[in-house]
């Protein structure tokens, strides 16, 4: 069976972009692949984290995985730092990476902009991500398109090691959806929807109340033309909303445009509120049920054990191919 790996950082505010770009794919893939879904806490500490909050967010993301439909009977759900292989392989791959290629990562450039010095963890973050993926001989990585450059680096590292040592790694492929691959900010459609933006109305979090969802959508930036049509350059705000509508309703963009011919933004937004609330309500209900249960902890412990079994085999092969250790 081919293998899937993906991860989400435990930093609160998991939003519609995370859901439509990544989490939705996780559920779909479970039927055909052996899937590993990780809560990447080691990635979260590339920026300062309050220990209590971090623990809480780890369990929040785990519960959200299950609430959107990840099934622990089919998939392995676990916390990154519970499997030592991630850090270990991260270091080994760091030694196969170059500062030049890491300096070109747009996410690093954006996060270190205007700073004389940046945390080294932010710089090597994509190498740890490559380790996450390569540790499990992953074939497919479902992510939003913002991660494309990191996936390419992971592939480059795998190929580089394979070419200079015995074949060590499976070279993975990224998997990106058409609708939902990049959801933009509701208040500024030139930026991607993000967990860390200050304005809470820039995003819809998966656990938002209906009244908050309504407010955020009704306030969303559009334009003054008043015609519902899809045009990312001229009408980025409305096009983003149409994209969200399409992803949540399984209607094509053309179908949506035909439905709203002669209608105004108000009607369109009102319907989008309803569709969004209907999609998120069952997720929130399931989340509330699961979040405080012992079952959640049991699932994560069991997941770590299973992930470790696979990781240990890969690490033995990697160490052997690099000549590390005694056996």
Residues in the site for ligand AMP, rule: CB under 6 A?
8-9, 17-18, 21-22, 143-144, 146-147, 181-183, 192-193, 195
Q: Is 6 in the site for ligand TRP (CB under 6 A)?
A: yes
The entry of ligand AMP, ligand TRP, none that residue 192 binds, CB within 5 to 8 Å by partner kind: ligand AMP
The entry of ligand AMP, ligand TRP, none that residue 141 binds, CB within 5 to 8 Å by partner kind: ligand TRP
Query: Could you tell me if 121 and 94 are in contact, meaning their C-beta atoms sit under 8 angstroms apart?
Result: no
Report in angstroms how near the CB of residue 126 gets to ligand TRP at its nearest: 7
The entry of ligand TRP, ligand AMP, none that residue 5 binds, CB within 5 to 8 Å by partner kind: ligand TRP
Q: Which is closer to ligand AMP, CB of 68 or CB of 143?
A: 143
Report in angstroms how near the CB of residue 10 gets to ligand AMP at its nearest: 8
The entry of ligand AMP, ligand TRP, none that residue 57 binds, CB within 5 to 8 Å by partner kind: none
What residues from 11 to 50 belong to the interface with ligand TRP (CB under 6 A)? 40, 43
Report in angstroms how near the CB of residue 147 gets to ligand TRP at its nearest: 5
The entry of ligand AMP, ligand TRP, none that residue 248 binds, CB within 5 to 8 Å by partner kind: none
Q: Which is closer to ligand TRP, CB of 94 or CB of 227?
A: 94
Dihedral, CA of residue 102, residue 107, residue 112 and residue 118, to nearest 10: -50
Strand partners of residue 5? 36
Q: Is 147 in the site for ligand TRP (CB under 6 A)?
A: yes
Query: Could you tell me if 6 and 165 are in contact, meaning their C-beta atoms sit under 8 angstroms apart?
Result: no
Task: Tell me which residue has its CB nearest to ligand TRP.
Answer: 7
Residue from 59, 61, 122, 141 that binds ligand TRP (CB under 6 A)? Answer: 141
Which residues does the annotation mark as catalytic?
Answer: 111, 192, 195
Residues 95-134: x where in contact with ligand TRP by CB under 6 A, - otherwise, as a string: ----------------------------------x--xx-
Task: Tell me which residue has its CB nearest to ligand AMP.
Answer: 21
């Amino acid at each position: 069976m081919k293998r899937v790996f993906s991860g989400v950082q435990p930093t609160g505010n998991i939003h519609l972009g995370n859901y439509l770009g990544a989490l939705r794919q996780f559920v779909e893939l479970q039927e055909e692949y052996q899937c590993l879904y990780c809560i990447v806490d080691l990635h979260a500490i590339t920026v300062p984290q309050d220990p209590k909050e971090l623990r809480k967010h780890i369990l929040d993301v785990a519960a959200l995985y299950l609430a959107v439909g990840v099934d622990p009977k089919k998939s392995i759900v676990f916390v990154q730092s519970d499997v030592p292989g991630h850090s270990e392989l991260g270091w080994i791959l760091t030694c196969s990476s170059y500062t030049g290629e890491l300096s070109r990562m747009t996410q690093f450039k954006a996060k270190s902009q205007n700073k004389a010095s940046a945390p080294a963890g932010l710089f090597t973050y994509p190498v740890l991500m490559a380790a996450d993926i390569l540790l499990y001989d992953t074939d497919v990585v479902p992510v939003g398109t913002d991660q494309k450059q990191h996936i390419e680096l992971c592939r480059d590292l795998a190929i580089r090691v394979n070419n200079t040592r015995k074949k060590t790694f499976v070279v993975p492929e990224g998997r990106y959806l058409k609708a939902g691959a990049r959801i933009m900010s509701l208040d500024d459609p030139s930026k991607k929807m993000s967990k860390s933006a200050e304005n809470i109305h820039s995003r819809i979090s998966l656990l938002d109340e209906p009244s908050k969802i309504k407010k955020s959508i009704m306030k969303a930036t559009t334009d003054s033309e008043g015609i519902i049509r899809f045009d990312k350059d001229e009408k980025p705000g409305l096009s983003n909303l149409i994209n969200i509508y399409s992803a949540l309703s399984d209607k094509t963009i053309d179908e949506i445009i035909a439905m709203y011919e002669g209608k105004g933004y108000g009607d369109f937004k009102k319907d989008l509120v309803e569709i969004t609330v209907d999609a998120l309500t069952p997720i929130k209900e399931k989340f509330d049920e699961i979040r405080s249960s012992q079952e959640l902890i049991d699932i994560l412990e069991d997941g770590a054990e299973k992930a470790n079994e696979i990781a240990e085999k890969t690490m033995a092969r990697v160490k052997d191919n690099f000549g590390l250790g005694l056996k």
